[in-house]
């Protein structure tokens, strides 16, 4: 952990070498998320509710999704940019250092400008929490926190799968973005609105719904099954197959010529 902070500090100092660029991308990240928010807002000016979810509830859902995604993007960015780590030979360097590869991949890319999105999510949460009409009892506050944590880990797992595929192809496969960037976009609405098939897929195959839809039902009082509250923790188990896949890929690492 101490070493992680050292990495973070050296990356922070590097990014500060280009102050203007850093501030611009921070603002850019903030504004991108903001436009998506406008999309939600304008839709609800025409329809008062979607599938029984009110405007402020959807807003809460969206900000939760955004918060966990931007956290994952900030700290697990190394896996998202893994094709470039492989092609510029950085991964060879990682392999000759006496530390865990996953740790090093995490620590070599920390994207502080992504905190702009997190800031946006924070603002939206601050707005949506009191307006959502949810009666905030301690267990619901806990659910909210568990949801963000679960989301962070599921997105991290998806990034790891994306990176592991690179061991075989040496470049990223764009279809994986459906589940990462895509999930952030369509995850602004509770998944049930996309129909039963999608919901099942997102429950049993890619467990995005485990940290979004089900606990959200509990949060908004649409269900009182206490199990739903802890589903995001089960979703964390998704990391296990992801890490196994990573191990498998690592043995097939081909490196690139020099």
**229 with 215: CB under 8 angstroms?**
yes
Helix intervals (H) in 48-177: 55-75, 77-80, 82-87, 90-95, 101-108, 115-131, 138-169
Nearer to other proteins, 98 or 195 (CB): 98
Which of 10, 27, 126, 142 touches other proteins (CB under 8 A)? Answer: 10
CA distances to 103, 160, 257 from 248, rounded to whole Å, are: 17, 12, 22
Please, are residues 112 and 22 in contact by the beta-carbon 8 Å criterion? yes
Contact flag: residue 251 with other proteins (CB under 8 A):
yes
In the complex, the smallest distance separating the C-beta of residue 101 from other proteins, rounded to whole angstroms, is: 8
Which residue number, 32 or 169, has a Cβ lying nearer to other proteins? 169
Q: Which of residues 79-138 bind other proteins (CB under 8 A)?
A: 88-89, 92-93, 95-100
Using only C-alpha atoms, the chain has a radius of gyration, in whole angstroms, of 19
Q: Does 17 bind other proteins (CB under 8 A)?
A: yes
For 242, the token pair is 């992801």
Of the residues 1, 2, 138, 224, which one makes contact with other proteins according to CB under 8 A: 2
Q: Which is nearer to other proteins, 18 or 204 (CB)?
A: 18
Q: Which residues here bind other proteins, judged by CB under 8 A?
A: 2-3, 6-7, 10, 13-14, 17-18, 88-89, 92-93, 95-100, 251, 253-255, 257-258
């Amino acid at each position: 952990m101490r070493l992680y902070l050292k990495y973070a500090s050296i990356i922070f100092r590097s990014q500060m070498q280009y102050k203007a660029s850093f501030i611009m991308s921070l603002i850019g990240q903030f504004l991108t998320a903001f436009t998506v928010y406008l999309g939600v807002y304008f839709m609800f000016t025409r329809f008062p509710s979607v599938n029984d979810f009110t405007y402020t509830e959807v807003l809460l859902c969206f900000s939760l999704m955004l918060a966990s995604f931007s956290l994952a993007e900030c700290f697990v960015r190394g896996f998202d940019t893994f094709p470039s780590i492989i092609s510029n030979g950085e991964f060879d360097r990682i392999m000759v250092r006496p530390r865990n590869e996953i740790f090093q991949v995490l620590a070599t890319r920390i994207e502080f400008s992504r905190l702009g999105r997190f800031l946006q999510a924070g603002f939206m949460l601050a707005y949506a929490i009191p307006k959502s009409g949810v009666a905030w009892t301690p267990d619901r506050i806990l659910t909210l926190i568990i949801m963000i944590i679960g989301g962070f880990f599921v997105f991290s797992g998806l990034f790891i799968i994306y990176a592991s595929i690179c061991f075989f192809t040496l470049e990223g496969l764009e279809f994986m973005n459906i589940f990462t960037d895509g999930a952030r976009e369509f995850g602004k609405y509770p998944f049930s609105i996309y129909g039963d098939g999608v919901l099942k897929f997102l429950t049993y195959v890619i467990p995005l719904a485990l940290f979004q839809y089900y606990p959200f039902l509990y949060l908004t009082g649409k269900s009182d099954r206490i199990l739903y509250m802890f589903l995001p923790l089960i979703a964390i188990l998704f990391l296990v197959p992801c890490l196994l896949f990573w191990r498998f890929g690592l043995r097939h690492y081909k490196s690139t010529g020099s």
